Every structure is written in structure tokens, then in C-alpha cells.
Structure 1
Amino acid sequence: METTLLVRSLLLVARTAATGLLTPALYATTTEEQAVLAPVQAMFEGMATRNAAAIKEPLLHDGTMVVMRNGTLTQITFEAFADRVQTSGKTHIEERIHDPLIRIDNDVAMVWAPFVFLIDGKVDHCGTDLFNLVRKDGKWLIASLTADVGRKDCPTK
């Protein structure tokens, strides 16, 4: 009976991995890496619910986002980004990163990760996110985000 339970558990994990539902924290190998990924996941959850306050919670006040789309550069404050997401529509949006590269040195960290962006459950575009984080009062915050979002030839990860 224990063997059956173990096999079922392993199958569930394999199925979850195959469908891309693993959270980014599962890619982290240390507690500190999980802590660095936590604000990234929190921002994505805020985006999915289109909740500006939840998006801003893991962000450093006055931080900025730089987006490259098809050779065009756009720079926006985190405040404006969060407000735009909250008011820009009713579709369900979801951003998923995979295979993050995480580097930590004392109170600074970075996460480099490919992503896919879904609208109403369908892949709309993909690219790469680069998050710069700082630890303030023992809490990791996203200080800046740079994203290349211009691709439509997205892998099925």
C-alpha cells in the first residue's frame, strides 16, 4: 500500500511538471533562493487578480520597469504599471517563469528567467525577465524589472 501511494505521488509530481504548473519556488534549491523568488511570485499573483495593491506589495517604492518589445523601449514606474494592470481589462492574465537563474550576494539578488504570458489560458507572448532585488528590513523587494516581451514563437514549456 505504501508503494502505491509513493507511485501515485510521483505520478502527480511528474504530471504537474509536464503541464508547467510547478511554482518558481520549486526551482529554487535553497531557502534563500525561495525567499528571493517569493516577491516575484507575489507580483505575478497580484497581476493575475488585477489587484494594484497586491502587485505593489513586493515592489520597492519608486522602482521601475523597462520593457523591450520589437526593438521599442518603454520605461514605466511600478506604480503606473500596477495601476495599468488593474484597469486594463477583464481578461485573465498569467505570467509564468521557468528555469530561473538566481544569484544572491548579501542583500542584493537577481533572477533571470524565461517566461510565457497567457491571456485567458492561451500563450500570448514570451520572453525573458530580469528582476533585481534588494533585502530591506529582512524582506526581499523587487527594485527593478527589465523584460524582453517581443516574441510570439514561444516554446511549449
Structure 2
Amino acid sequence: MPQFATSLLLAAVLSLPALVANAQQAPSETEAVKRTVTAFFDGMRRGDSTLVRRTLAPGAVFHGIGGRPGQPVALQTENINGFLKAVGTPHAEVWDERIKFEQVLIDANLASVWTPYEFYLGSKFSHCGYDSFQLVKLADGWKIAHIIDTRRKEKCK
């Protein structure tokens, strides 16, 4: 066996345990990230601003991309304290954002989550789009640092 092939084979064999360890860790980290995002929406559905707040990193930022028909698209920054107050204020209809986890990417203490969603007020459809979450792993677990979403009423399915 040529020297180069031997070195390549040795490098592959030596790196195999690290690859196996990474593969074993990834599902549990992925599930932990999903649990944080799920808890965020569970808190919204329950009107529990304390539960929602526990999912957020200090300094978290919310953005929405939207606009009215015929108007230019605009980037809107949401006030997190205002959002939390609205979640915790009793309202007639349940705020039910239904998501599907399409993609969860993780590198060290950073995760990115991509989810299509449909938003319902009680049982009535309101709007749809995609959520993009950026999460960071802090001492007390995965926390949402940034959410940005699209919002539309058409072409939802």
C-alpha cells in the first residue's frame, strides 16, 4: 500500500470515534432545541408569558417581514415586552401557531431552526408563513435569541 493511502486510512480510522460521538450527541441536542421552540408556542397557546419568557435569551430580538398588498415589504421589529404582555393578557381566542420542524442545524452553541407555520385564532385561520429561529446554548440550556418570520394570508398550503 502506498504511503499516502496508508496515511489516509490511518487518519480515517483515528477520526471515526469522533464522528460516532458527534452523531450520537446530535439527536439529543436537536431534540433539546425543538423542546425550547415547542415550549415557546405552548406558552403562547396557554397565555403563559412566564413560560414564553423562559425560552428567550437575554436581549432576544423579534422581527417580522410583511406588508400590505400593494405596499413594499417591510422589516418590522416587535417589542418583546409588549409581546409578552399581550401573550399574558387574557384574550378570547387561543393563539395557536402550528409549526412543522423542517430543518434544525446545530454547531456548538448555535442552532438555527426553519419551520413553516399556520396561525389560528381559536379555530379560525389567520395567516401563515415561515419562522426562522436562532438559538444559543447558555448555562441553563437552549434559548431563543432571534425570531424572524414571514406573514401572508394566501398560498399557505
The TM-score range, normalised by the shorter chain, is: 0.7 to 0.9
Corresponding letter in the other structure for 1:55: V
Query: SS where residue 36 of structure 1 aligns?
Result: helix
Query: CA–CA distance in 2 between the matches of 1:87 and 1:138?
Result: 27
CA contact (8 A) 1:52 1:86 kept: yes
What is the aligned partner in structure 2 of residue 20 from structure 1? none
Match of 2:34 among 37, 47, 65: 37
What is the aligned partner in structure 1 of residue 58 from structure 2? 61
Corresponding letter in the other structure for 1:77: N
What is the aligned partner in structure 1 of residue 89 from structure 2? 87
What is the aligned partner in structure 2 of residue 137 from structure 1? 139
Query: CA–CA distance in 2 between the matches of 1:154 and 1:123?
Result: 10
Corresponding letter in the other structure for 1:102: V
Corresponding letter in the other structure for 1:50: G
User: 1:88 offset after TM fit, Å?
Assistant: 7.0
Larger Rg: 2
Tell me, which stretches of 5 or more residues in structure 2 are unaligned?
A: 1-25, 68-72
User: 1:96 offset after TM fit, Å?
Assistant: 1.3
TM-score for both structures, normalised by structure 2: 0.74
Query: CA–CA distance in 1 between the matches of 2:37 and 2:76?
Result: 20
Change beyond 3 A, Cα 1:55–1:101: same
User: 1:98 offset after TM fit, Å?
Assistant: 1.2
Query: SS where residue 112 of structure 2 aligns?
Result: strand
Change beyond 3 A, Cα 1:88–1:127: farther
Could you report, residue by residue, the CA deviation over 1:88-125 in whole angstroms, capped at 9, with x for unpaired residues?
73211111111421100000000011111111123211
CA contact (8 A) 1:55 1:82 kept: yes
What is the aligned partner in structure 1 of residue 45 from structure 2? 48
Corresponding letter in the other structure for 2:41: F
Q: Which moved more, 1:78-87 or 1:34-43?
A: 78-87
Provide runs of 4+ in structure 1 moved above 3 Å. Answer: none
Aligned pair count reads 127
Query: SS where residue 119 of structure 2 aligns?
Result: strand
CA contact (8 A) 1:93 1:121 kept: no
Tell me, which stretches of 5 or more residues in structure 1 are unaligned?
A: 1-28
RMSD: 1.7
